[in-house]
């Protein structure tokens, strides 16, 4: 069999159709059971609140959205093959999404974004601490259109799995920081390399002690960027954290006068002091007698940023006094009402930064 014959045979196993549908129509199909979200071959629904908000924002702004792919079963039902995150986000926001057990999932509340900061604390229906979108905004969402590509029932039954694999392989989805790294390379490759070098500073790596999986997702680079961003780019209250880091990375990359040598010195001095005082227990929970558990972003944001802003005062202490002071602050942090309130599970990143960054400088002052 030659290539043309192989192509002809293969094409007959994949029969497709496609057209645009409104969000309202897609929701209607889900509500009547004509569109099924099958967990057997879907990735977990794992978008964070920021990404969910960005998707809703894109629809409200009329930004084109990639198509979703469905497989048509013998009885005409559509099984969602690709587009889980997008469709689930819409259903969850509107209070219609059910988990595999059939239980209704709790609707989420939107964050603010760079373009639409007033989205913060907006919901589909009025909540205890949220305001609903206006009727006109709801209509805009329902009328927004998505392209639906249909793998028809005449296709080979195994083709839906082939389609799913083709759409979801060839490299895992990039993390937020991996996308930023690409942006940095395009704008200022020297700065990207400089940040990468900072992420390899021994006292920094040894004090954060994160998992291999987190390192693969470039969390070390993100932590360096967070440290620099907090120091150099003011955080706008209520702004989505990833929006802020995107903005900060571009701002720093375009700053021709960015003081790399001075910031490198501050970075190294900060983490040398933290590692000298706490070792690999830095940025972990204080349980009353010892530091335990995994790396905590909230502790990193307060201790590292706060110490860096007080470095000149802290460096006036003797080495032993400095270590004792940092150890005490790391323990006392867990007695702070503000910290405990805005560092626990379920707290939005935007709320955490809005409350913890202002307290960090004062808290770490000798």
Encode pLDDT of 124-134 as tens digits: 999 888 999 99
Domain containing residue 155: 10-168
Domain shared by 234 and 151, yes or no: no
Q: Who contacts 35 (Cβ-Cβ below 8 Å, separation ≥6)?
A: 26, 29, 70, 77, 78, 80, 87
> Please, which residues bridge with residue 132 across strands?
123
For the stretch 173-221, pLDDT in tens is 557 787 788 778 768 889 999 999 999 999 999 999 888 888 878 899 9
Distance CA 366, CA 364 (A): 6
Give the range among 235-244, 296-305, 314-323 with minimum mean pLDDT: 235-244
Distance CA 352, CA 295 (A): 16
Residue 174: its pLDDT value, please?
57
Domain shared by 159 and 235, yes or no: no
Per the domain annotation, does 5 fall within a domain? no
Distance CA 320, CA 332 (A): 18
Domain shared by 202 and 157, yes or no: no
- Which residue, of 149, 168, 187, is where some domain finishes? 168
- Which residue, of 137, 168, 199, is where some domain finishes? 168
Domain shared by 43 and 145, yes or no: yes
Domain shared by 25 and 113, yes or no: yes
Q: What is the DSSP letter of 118?
A: G
Q: Tell me which of 1 and 86 has the higher pLDDT.
A: 86
Handedness of CA 175, 177, 179, 181 (dihedral sign): negative
Domain shared by 157 and 243, yes or no: no
Q: Does residue 198 contact residue 204 with C-beta atoms inside 8 Å?
A: yes
Kindly compute the dihedral angle of the four CA atoms of residues 190, 191, 196, 202, in this order, to the nearest 10 degrees. 110
Confidence of residue 52 (pLDDT cuts 50, 70, 90): very high
Domain shared by 27 and 50, yes or no: yes
Length of the chain: 366
Domain shared by 122 and 227, yes or no: no
| Percent of the chain at pLDDT exceeding 90 | 59
* Tokens coding 52: 């969910």
Residue 45: its pLDDT value, please?
56
Residue 210: its pLDDT value, please?
85
Strand ranges inside 60-182, DSSP E: 68-72, 78-82, 122-123, 131-132, 145-151
- Which residue, of 144, 168, 192, is where some domain finishes? 168
For the stretch 333-365, pLDDT in tens is 999 999 999 998 888 999 999 999 999 999 999
* Tokens coding 252: 């720093």
Per the domain annotation, does 253 fall within a domain? yes
Domain shared by 68 and 193, yes or no: no
Domain shared by 277 and 310, yes or no: yes
Per the structure, the count of domains in the chain is: 2
Residue 59: its pLDDT value, please?
93
Domain shared by 215 and 96, yes or no: no
Distance CA 166, CA 24 (A): 28
Per the domain annotation, does 1 fall within a domain? no
Other CB atoms within 10 Å distance of the CB of residue 319: 11
Kindly compute the dihedral angle of the four CA atoms of residues 204, 205, 211, 214, in this order, to the nearest 10 degrees. 70
């Amino acid at each position: 069999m030659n290539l043309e014959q192989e192509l002809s045979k293969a094409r007959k196993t994949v029969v497709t159709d496609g057209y645009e549908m409104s969000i309202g129509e897609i929701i209607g199909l889900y509500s009547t059971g004509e569109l099924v979200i099958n967990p057997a071959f879907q990735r977990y629904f794992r978008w964070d609140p920021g990404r969910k908000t960005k998707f809703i924002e894109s629809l409200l702004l009329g930004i084109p959205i990639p198509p979703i792919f469905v497989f048509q079963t013998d009885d005409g039902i559509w099984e969602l093959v690709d587009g889980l995150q997008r469709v689930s986000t819409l259903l969850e926001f509107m209070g219609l999404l059910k988990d595999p057990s059939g239980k209704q999932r709790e609707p989420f509340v939107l964050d603010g974004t760079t373009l639409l900061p007033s989205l913060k604390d907006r919901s589909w229906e009025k909540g205890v601490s949220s305001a609903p979108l206006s009727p006109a905004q709801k209509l805009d969402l329902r009328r927004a259109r998505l392209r639906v590509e249909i793998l028809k029932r005449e296709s080979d039954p195994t083709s839906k799995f082939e389609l799913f694999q083709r759409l979801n392989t060839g490299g895992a989805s990039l993390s937020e920081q991996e996308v930023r790294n690409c942006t940095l390379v395009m704008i200022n490759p020297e700065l990207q390399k400089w940040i990468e070098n900072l992420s390899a500073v021994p006292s920094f790596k040894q004090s954060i002690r994160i998992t291999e999986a987190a390192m693969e997702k470039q969390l070390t680079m993100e932590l360096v960027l967070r440290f620099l961003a907090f120091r150099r780019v003011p955080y706008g209250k209520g702004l989505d954290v990833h929006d802020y880091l995107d903005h900060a990375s571009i701002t720093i990359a375009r700053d021709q006068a960015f003081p790399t040598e001075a910031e490198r010195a501050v970075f190294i001095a900060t983490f040398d002091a933290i590692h000298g005082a706490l070792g690999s227990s830095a940025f972990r929970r204080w349980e009353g007698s010892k530091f335990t558990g995994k790396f905590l972003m909230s502790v990193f944001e307060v201790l590292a940023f706060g110490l860096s802003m007080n470095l000149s005062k802290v460096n006036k202490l003797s080495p032993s006094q400095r270590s004792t002071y940092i150890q005490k602050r790391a323990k006392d942090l867990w007695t702070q009402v503000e910290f405990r309130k805005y560092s626990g599970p379920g707290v939005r990143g935007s709320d955490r930064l809005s409350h913890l960054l202002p307290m960090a400088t004062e808290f770490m002052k000798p």
